[in-house]
């Protein structure tokens, strides 16, 4: 029997091993696949790009072409990273060829790298002298092949600006480094520093005065002084306004013509910092003039007018005359009220400190005030509602305002108004005429709405019949009273006496108490009646009589006096005269004589019904 591992079998196993080796060699010994990446695909100016080999299948050599400088075959690096410096702006195609024993492969990336040119930053300053407090103009002078999109200024004193061409003022003197940084549309940056720091030096201040600045006539010599100027001044330049100049610090100058002259002083320092002071019309020779302004050359009587002194500057004395005989004024801008209409010539006489004087006049017209007048359909009535039609009759009226006295108003020229309550009403009319003048008049108790008010009096309250009584009418009415009707009626109604006189005389022949009625009517037909009871009484005449017991007494003894009444007559008043100069009131008095003698006693008795 043959062994399982016979020679034949061993040969077969060897053949299988050889086939396996050839198979695995065919699998692992392949050509590389080239690939790479770049740390950046763009840059500005000189740019270093790191390229990383990403090829597969174990290349044994790499050939790079970075788009400039030809092919390069560097030694293989363990980190597989290779750097290249681009220094020229442009677009570059990068190519990598990877090779091993099994072959090679190439990866090309067209226009893969873009290098931009850096911008060039630069700037200028408009002013050659850099002075404290001056506004300096900074001007961008940078260049770029694409638009610059960002500016960043640093002025060295803590202030910055994003403007392209900014201005900046340095508050303090000193050295200040200035930098401009720029960025263009490609994102490329550049900056520029001034070669030397900005040197900000002190700015002078020009100021001057003159001993006298005004003269009435030419020639006139002015003495100028610059002593109020400050700073390290090295030069003075004067311009006197008449074509003449000076470089003295404190010059004098003679003006040979009249006019107003503007004076200018420029001062400079060694660093060319300067300041100019200008005073317009500083020197005035023969130009002083009086002037006046009137706010309105037409005013209404009683309205104040405003006047303004418009004389040349430097007035020290002035006199206003308003042309109406009123007191003068010396205030600069007075007001004045004209009390009479007319045209008045207003004048101002002005004088300056140099003694120059002048007078100016101007007319003002004063309009009289309108006099409000009107007519009406009626002014009186004895009943409501009462409608009155008013008509303004004031000349040259442009507008009116009515007040009818009961709260009612109107702005119509011919209003109608209805009164609903009895009473007396004032009419107020305000009128504006075509000159703009306004006046108001009030007409008291102009509208009177009431019935007649009846009243009367008599000359006596009573007496003995026959008793003549005069009755007096005291009635009032809005209109003249034209009719009177008197009725004098005894209270028992049995006797009636009548009269149509205004103030009748009526004789009461019968005794009794009388009531009186008066009815009046005015010419507008308005009437009213008043009745009063017991107005007057007529009675019988009493017979005075008395007694005293005894009629003869001793000195200093009291006596009793007793009235003896008349039948059916009741007296109401007794007056006793005791014959010794003494009188007493009362019906039954007692009396003691303090002297001896014979006395006649008289009693007066009065009776009123």
Domain 36-116 CATH superfamily: Immunoglobulins (2.60.40.10)
Domain 380-449 classified CATH 3.40.50.720?
Answer: no
The strand pair at 42-44 and 103-116 is best described as: parallel
- The Cα–Cα gap between 530 and 536 comes to 15
Q: How far is CA 39 from CA 185, 505, 596, in A?
A: 22, 145, 168
- At the topology level of CATH, where does 546-606 sit? Immunoglobulin-like (2.60.40)
Which residues does residue 421 pair with via DSSP β-bridges, in sequence order? none
Share of the chain above pLDDT 70, in %: 93
Per-residue pLDDT tens digits for 3-25: 333 333 333 433 433 333 333 34
Q: What pLDDT, on the 0 to 100 scale, is given for residue 333?
A: 96
Which residue from 438, 435, 427 is spatially nearest to 400, judged by alpha carbons? 438
- Binning pLDDT at 50, 70 and 90, where does residue 481 land? very high
Q: What pLDDT, on the 0 to 100 scale, is given for residue 571?
A: 67
Q: Per-residue b/e over 109-122, b at no fewer than 16 CB within 10 Å? A: beebbbbbbbbebe
Q: Are 207 and 179 in contact (CB under 8 A)?
A: no
Per-residue pLDDT tens digits for 493-509: 999 899 999 999 999 99
- Residue 483 confidence (pLDDT) above 90: yes
Domain 292-367 CATH superfamily: Immunoglobulins (2.60.40.10)
- Assigned CATH class of 123-200: mainly beta
- Mean residue pLDDT of the chain comes to 91
Q: Are 178 and 198 in contact (CB under 8 A)?
A: yes
358 token code pair: 């002048």
- Residue 608 confidence (pLDDT) above 90: no
SS3 track for 499-514: ECCCCCEEEECCCEEE
Instruction: Tell me the backbone φ, ψ of residue 504, rounded to 5 degrees.
Output: -80, 155
- At the topology level of CATH, where does 209-285 sit? Immunoglobulin-like (2.60.40)
Q: What pLDDT, on the 0 to 100 scale, is given for residue 26?
A: 42
How many Cα atoms within 13 Å fall on the side-chain side of residue 567?
0
Q: Are 572 and 566 in contact (CB under 8 A)?
A: no
Cis, peptide link before residue 439, omega less than 30° from 0: no
The secondary structure element, H or E, covering residue 401 is: strand 397-403
Which residues does residue 174 pair with via DSSP β-bridges, in sequence order? 200
Cis, peptide link before residue 97, omega less than 30° from 0: no
What average pLDDT does this structure show over 540-546? Answer: 70
- At the topology level of CATH, where does 456-539 sit? Immunoglobulin-like (2.60.40)
Phi-psi region of 132 (alpha: psi -120 to 50; beta: other; left: phi over 0): beta
Q: Are 419 and 386 in contact (CB under 8 A)?
A: yes
- Residue 569 confidence (pLDDT) above 70: no
The residue ranges of every structural domain in the chain are 36-116, 123-200, 209-285, 292-367, 380-449, 456-539, 546-606
- The Cα–Cα gap between 563 and 606 comes to 12
Supply the Cα-derived Rg of the chain in whole angstroms.
Answer: 66
DSSP per-residue string spanning 540-583: PPP---EEES-S---TT-EEEEEE-PPTT----EEEEE-SSS-E
- Residue 268 confidence (pLDDT) above 70: yes
241 token code pair: 């306004």
| Contacts with 22 (C-beta within 8 Å, 6 or more apart), sequence order | none
Q: How far is CA 443 from CA 220, 404, 419, 481, 568, in A?
A: 70, 10, 16, 24, 62
Q: What pLDDT, on the 0 to 100 scale, is given for residue 15?
A: 41
- The Cα–Cα gap between 31 and 328 comes to 123
Phi-psi region of 524 (alpha: psi -120 to 50; beta: other; left: phi over 0): alpha
Q: Per-residue b/e over 198-218, b at no fewer than 16 CB within 10 Å? A: bebbbbbebbbebeebbbbee
């Amino acid at each position: 029997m043959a062994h399982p591992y016979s020679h034949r079998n061993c040969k077969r196993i060897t053949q299988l091993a050889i086939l396996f080796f050839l198979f695995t060699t065919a699998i692992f010994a392949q050509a590389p696949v080239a690939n790479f990446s770049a740390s950046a695909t763009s840059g500005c100016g000189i740019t270093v790009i790191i390229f990383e080999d990403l090829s597969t299948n174990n290349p044994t050599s790499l050939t790079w072409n970075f788009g400039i400088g030809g092919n390069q075959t560097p030694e293989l690096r363990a980190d597989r990273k290779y750097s290249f410096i681009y220094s020229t702006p442009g677009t570059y195609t990068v190519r990598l060829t990877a090779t091993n024993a099994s072959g090679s492969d190439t990866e090309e990336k067209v226009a893969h790298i873009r290098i931009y040119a850096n911008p060039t930053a630069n700037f200028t300053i408009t002013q050659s002298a850099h002075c404290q407090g001056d506004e300096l103009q900074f001007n961008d002078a940078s260049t770029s092949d694409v638009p610059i999109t960002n500016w960043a200024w640093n002025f060295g004193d803590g202030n910055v600006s994003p403007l392209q061409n900014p201005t900046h003022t340095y508050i303090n003197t000193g050295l200040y480094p200035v930098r401009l940084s720029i960025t263009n549309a490609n994102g490329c940056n550049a900056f520029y520093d001034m070669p030397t720091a900005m040197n900000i030096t002190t700015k002078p201040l020009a100021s001057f005065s003159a001993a006298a600045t005004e003269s009435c006539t030419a020639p006139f010599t002015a003495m100028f002084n610059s002593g109020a100027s400050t700073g390290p001044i090295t030069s003075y330049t004067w311009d006197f306004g008449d074509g003449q100049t000076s470089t003295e610090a404190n010059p004098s100058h003679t003006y040979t013509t009249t006019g107003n002259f503007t004076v200018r002083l420029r001062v400079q320092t060694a660093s060319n910092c300067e300041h100019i002071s200008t005073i317009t019309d500083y020197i005035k020779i023969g130009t002083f003039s009086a002037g006046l302004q009137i706010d309105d050359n037409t005013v209404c009587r009683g309205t104040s007018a405003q006047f303004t002194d418009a004389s040349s500057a430097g007035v020290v004395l002035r006199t206003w005359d308003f042309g109406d005989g009123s007191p003068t004024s010396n205030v600069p801008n007075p007001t004045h009220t004209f009390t009479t209409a007319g045209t008045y010539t207003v004048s101002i006489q002005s004088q300056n400190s140099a003694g120059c004087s002048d007078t100016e006049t101007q007319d003002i017209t004063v309009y009289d005030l309108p006099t409000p007048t009107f007519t009406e359909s009626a002014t009186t009535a004895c009943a409501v509602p009462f409608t009155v039609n008013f008509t303004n009759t004031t000349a040259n009226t442009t507008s009116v305002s009515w007040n009818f006295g009961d709260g009612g108003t109107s702005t119509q020229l011919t209003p109608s108004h209805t009164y609903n309550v009895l009473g007396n009403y004032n009419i107020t009319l305000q009128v504006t005429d075509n000159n703009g003048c306004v006046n108001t008049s009030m007409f008291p108790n102009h509208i009177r709405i009431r019935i007649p008010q009846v009243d009367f009096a008599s000359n006596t309250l009573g007496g003995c019949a026959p008793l003549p009584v005069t009755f007096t009418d005291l009635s009032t009415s809005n209109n003249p009273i034209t009719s009177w009707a008197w009725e004098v009626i005894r209270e028992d109604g049995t006797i009636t006496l009548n009269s149509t006189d205004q103030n009748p005389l009526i004789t009461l022949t019968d005794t009794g108490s009388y009531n009186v009625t008066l009815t009046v009517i005015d010419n507008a037909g308005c009437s009213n009646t008043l009745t009063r009871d017991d107005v007057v009484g007529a009675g019988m005449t009493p017979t005075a009589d008395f007694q005293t017991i005894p009629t003869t007494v001793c000195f200093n003894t009291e006596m009793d006096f007793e009235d003896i009444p008349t039948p059916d007559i009741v007296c109401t008043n007794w007056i006793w005269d005791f014959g010794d100069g003494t009188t007493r009131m009362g019906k039954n008095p007692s009396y003691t004589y303090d002297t001896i003698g014979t006395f006649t006693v008289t009693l007066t008795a009065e009776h009123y019904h």
